[in-house]
Structure 1
Amino acid sequence: MALIITDECINCDVCEPECPNGAITQGDEIYEIDPDLCTECVGHYETSQCVEVCPVDCIPIDPEHVESQEELHAKYLKITGEAE
């Protein structure tokens, strides 16, 4: 599952540098997460780093992009160039 940033985002700038995949960027009004790059930090960390640092708890799982742990790991391998 990819994550999504809700409109409760206060643009505090702490999530973007924490993303190891570069999935978080500044949108028109709030930060946004690219579901093609979001692995929920699978392959990098035990927990999603953006969720850990978010002061307003506005980063839930995106119901539009449901993925298993195996799918997230495969995406991580593809993004990092480790896929065979």
Structure 2
Amino acid sequence: MITAIEGGQDLARSIELAAQATDAVSSHIDDVRELSLSTGAAASQVLSSSTDLEKQASTLRTQMQAFLSKIRAA
């Protein structure tokens, strides 16, 4: 009878440990999800900034070509 009680207690401890581990894993998954959302937002900002920079570089290139053409013509 004592062995059955001890076995039941061991089983209860194992179930409790499994539940705690499941909670920890769930918490880590939530953390990863939040970090991936933040990373996605940062990547979108980098893309937007690089697109703006490309437009500015193109405008500068066009203006420099026009400027150099005027200097050569003078």
**Fold shared, TM-score > 0.5 on shorter chain:** no
TM-score where L is the length of structure 2: 0.19
Which protein is bigger by CA-based radius of gyration? Answer: 2
Taking structure 1 as the reference length, the TM-score comes to 0.17
Report which of the two has the higher share of strand.
1
Higher RCO, 1 vs 2 (CA within 8 Å, ≥6 residues apart): 1
Q: Which of the two has greater helix per residue?
A: 2
